[in-house]
A and B are shown apart, each in its own frame.
Chain A
């Protein structure tokens, strides 16, 4: 498939998009909640991949290769946006405030229902927006998805020490922000 894509065979490229879209979108949605932004990042990922297909030597999987391109594309897009507002209590919606009050008394007591999960995800996104794109990625992958430090290092090209430092910094900041919101 990679060989055909190198020859600019459109059906091969279409197959690459079809097969790996879920993976690429998953990466994009780690960074962007908005569907339009995620699509923009995913499209840019595939176009870059087609332009660089000759550099894909076949070592490793195409999925891994595309994941790395998608991650770097999203990091670059977020870096260029560079807006990282601080989160204060007055920024929270009524739903979020109510949910925080309720859950602070019984954290971990029961699993949130669907509505609560949406509120929780909203709140998470606000917290994640205050982090650097790199710290955000480390926190989402390790704490959110259960990925290992090595998994993050492979996708990003960072050393394991760097991954640990980023995750530590992100976890600390997220905890401190949520403490202040109560």
Chain B
């Protein structure tokens, strides 16, 4: 029996589940193979310690803390109460919070989404009343110098 076959058997099946025939073959092989003998001994040791650990777990389970039940129920009660108090808080203040949220959303929409109106006081309107425009830009009602001179001398010639 090849080494790898021995270890495969040892690893595939719990030792306690090996048949008498399989165990016999293993013992026959390990009598002539030091490596497999070592592997078989390690597998037996592994089974022994794992059983000891499992047995300990079973025994420990029966020695639970007598206050465990009290602790669990107290924690559960706390969790329920904190859930309830949040619920009650929402019931009493929910309408107020909701209306505040809606109002804030409406204001934000009016500010950012609606187009902004143009201001009536534009820079050009301000500039039209500046000193320079009064001095250098002739208004529609103002007459030119030529018109003024014609008006003066035309009247004098008419008068002669």
Contacts and interface: CB of A to CB of B under 8 A. Distances in A.
Interface string B39-78: 1011111111111111111101110110011011101110
A62 interface: no
Nearest to B15: A143
A43 B72 contact: yes
Interface residues of B, number: 42
Given A10-B77, A47-B79, A17 B54 contact: no
A107 interface: yes
Contact of B52 (A30, A38, A47, A124): A124
Contact of B54 (A38, A46, A140): A140
A103 B68 contact: no
Contacts of B75: 43, 47
B53 A43 contact: no
Interface residues on A, range: 35 or more
Contacts of B68: 17, 21, 39, 42-43
B60 A144 contact: no
Contact of A117 (B52, B62, B79): B52
Given A22-B62, A120-B49, A175 B80 contact: no
A104 B45 contact: yes
B69 A14 contact: yes
Interface of A, helix, strand, loop or mixed by DSSP: helix
A65 interface: no
Contacts of A164: 12
Task: Name, among B7, B48, B57, the residue most crowded by chain A CB atoms within 10 Å (CB to CB).
Answer: B57
A100 B49 CA distance: 11
B16 interface: yes
Contact of A143 (B14, B57, B58): B14
Interface in B1-57: 7, 10-12, 14-16, 38-39, 41-57
B71 A43 contact: yes
Contacts of A21: 64, 68-69
A121 B55 CA distance: 9
Interface stretch (A77-85, A152-160, A166-174): A166-174
A139 B50 contact: yes
A102 to B, nearest CB: 11
A104 to B, nearest CB: 6
A147 to B, nearest CB: 10
Interface of A: 8, 10, 13-14, 17-18, 21-23, 25-26, 28-30, 33, 35, 38-39, 42-43, 46-47, 50, 100, 103-104, 107-108, 112, 117-118, 120-121, 123-125, 127-128, 139-146, 164, 167-168, 171-172, 174-176, 178-179, 182
Given A43-B68, A121-B53, 12 more contacts: A17-B73, A22-B64, A25-B64, A29-B58, A43-B75, A100-B45, A103-B45, A108-B48, A117-B56, A143-B16, A143-B47, A143-B51
Interface of B: 7, 10-12, 14-16, 38-39, 41-58, 60-62, 64-65, 68-69, 71-73, 75-77, 79-80
